[in-house]
Amino acid sequence: MTARAGQDLTSGPIVRTLLLFALPTLGSSILQSLNGSINAIWVGQFLGEAALAATANANLVMFLMFSAVFGFGMAATILVGQNMGARNVDGVRRVIGTTTGMFVIAASLVAIAGWYGAPALLHLLATPPEVFDFALAYLRVIFLGLPPGMIVVLLTMGLRGTGDSMTPLWFMALSAVIDVVMNPVLILGLGPAPRMGIEGAATATLIANYAGLIGLVGYIYWRDLPLRLRGRELAYLLPDPKLLRTIVLKGVPMGMQMLVVSISALAMIGLVNREGAATTAAYGAANQMWTYIQMPAMALGAAVSAMAAQNIGAGRWERVGQITRAGIGINILMTGSAVLLLLAIDRYVLSLFLGSDGHAMDIARHMNLIVSWGFILFGITSVLSAAVRANGAVMVPLLILAISFIPVRLGLAAHFQPLIGADAIWWSYNAGAIATLLMTWAYYRWGGWRTIHMMAPTDPVEAEEMVMSEAEPVGRAHPTGV
């Protein structure tokens, strides 16, 4: 059985299933990053540095917007996975209906507020005057593409909760290709297209978002996947208060984790800037490499979360521990290989960003040698966090992250920087990674996360109806064609 149209993750070989699930998720992450990089090249080449700086300012706003809703999408994914494990397809549809209804309302309101509030947002970010007009034109169009973009994120996360990681990859590829191709067409006005400049870059993203959403929804209905809503199920789009409360209570702490990471990153940049322009440039280039080093760990975390959630829903706790151990082993192999590869070729990769600047190159290679090994520890932590998160444990992981990132990482960097210089910043990354791993392992081993109940028990009448309808298309635990 493939993961293309959904998969039962509660049986079968764990290592093989985990790998087959994680690799398409990894591919989606790589495609997303390449899409952003290629679009940045188009804007920089055709419109210049001011336009490129404008997209950076606007993309920061969008990152914060998506960070705010990430937690809610993750909470919905966990509920979808647990319901799939319990063979409660109607529960899956209730969750996706409530979350979709919430996302449509919230994203539409944010898009309207963003259109009118974009100037104030850019002033708040202290956008330089020479960049402001570019950024305003770009950001307003990007806000219009926010609703379909958020719904696509929700549906892809929901599909992974059902055990399907291939469909998100195909539609991420579709959106990326449309975005990359349409960028130069609309920026330059090639063929019959109007010449739109910076607005063309944003419009390409808007078109790609809507095309991806229409294609994904059409595919879900064509394949009769568990997320589709028909007939009376369309009423699930009206948010259910009980479900909404669970999603919000679990989603806010997970969203706050993204906020902690963002605040820590901004503060770290402030410390790096004190070391001068060469160090800042080196740090920016190294970050490009670190983005790709982290991808295997993040993909494995998503796979472990989906698999663990389904097995928790099915009551198969013995497999949850096996999944976690398998995830840790695969992470050490994959992330360790990525670290070794990039350490071997870091000069060639860094030269793409730093050119012939020998001083910045030396700094970047030095920091990479210190920091990169810590991503193996980060990967182990991601797997452990994914396992506990799959049962709805969110407050302790948030507390662990806040302690590791702020008093440990930032505290050590700020304290020792006057004594040993920039090395204090680079070693603080590893100190934070060690602290996060130790606390997360302690919580995984001895914490009470196994006793948390995120999914409400199925009503006996609903359970009987679900069992009786298993042979009908509406009640199938596995969609048609699997």
One digit per residue, pLDDT tens: the chain, 482 residues? Answer: 333 445 678 888 999 999 999 999 999 988 888 888 788 888 877 888 777 777 776 777 777 777 777 888 888 989 999 999 999 999 999 999 999 999 999 899 989 998 999 898 888 777 778 888 888 999 899 999 989 999 999 999 999 999 999 999 999 999 999 999 999 999 999 989 999 998 999 999 999 999 999 999 999 999 999 999 999 999 999 989 999 999 988 888 888 888 888 778 878 888 888 888 788 888 888 887 888 899 999 999 999 999 999 999 988 999 999 999 999 999 999 999 999 998 999 888 888 777 765 788 899 999 999 999 999 999 999 999 999 999 988 899 999 999 999 999 999 999 999 999 999 999 999 999 999 999 999 999 999 898 876 655 444 344 334 333 333 333 333 322 32
How far apart are the C-alpha atoms of 282 and 287, rounded to whole Å? 9
Domain assignment present for 327: yes
- Residue at 28: amino acid letter: S
For residues 372 and 330, membership in a common domain is answered with yes
Are 225 and 359 members of one domain? Answer: no
Kindly state the helix (H) or strand (E) to which residue 200 belongs, with its residue range.
helix 198-222
Query: Quick one: 191 and 231 in the same domain?
Result: yes
Interaxial angle between packed helices 277-313 and 146-161, expressed in degrees from 0 to 180 and rounded to the nearest 10:
50
Task: Please report whether residue 482 resides in a domain.
Answer: no
Q: Are residues 420 and 358 in the same domain?
A: yes
Q: Looking at 217, 239, 261, which one is the last position of a domain?
A: 239
Say what the alpha-carbon torsion angle 136, 258, 144, 24 is, to the nearest 10 degrees.
Answer: 120
Q: Are residues 234 and 333 in the same domain?
A: no
Query: Could you tell me if residue 245 is inside a domain?
Result: no
Asked whether residue 228 falls in the same domain as residue 374, the answer is no
Residues 332 and 405 in one domain: yes
Residues 83 and 229 grouped into a single domain: yes
Q: Is 233 part of a structural domain of the chain?
A: yes
Total number of domains in the chain: 2
Q: Are residues 120 and 17 in the same domain?
A: yes
Q: How many CA atoms lie within 13 A of 357 on its CB side?
A: 18
Type of residue found at 183: N
Structural domain range at position 86: 11-239
What's the confidence (pLDDT) of residue 455?
56
CA distance 267 to 270: 5
244 within a domain of the structure (yes/no): no
Using CA atoms, how far residue 176 sits from 12, 59, 168, 206, 416, in Å, is 33, 16, 12, 12, 43
* Cα distances (angstroms) measured from residue 70 to each of 65, 253, 413, 450: 9, 10, 29, 23
Same domain, 268 and 414: yes
Q: 153 with 260, same domain?
A: no
Whether residue 456 is contained in a domain is answered as yes
- Residue 357: predicted pLDDT: 58
Residue 480 lies in a domain: no
**256 plus 180 within the same structural domain:** no
In a domain, 360, yes or no: yes
CB burial of residue 434 (10 Å; 0-12, 13-18, 19+): middle
At which of 239, 261, 290 does a domain end? 239
Last residue of a domain, one of 191, 215, 239: 239
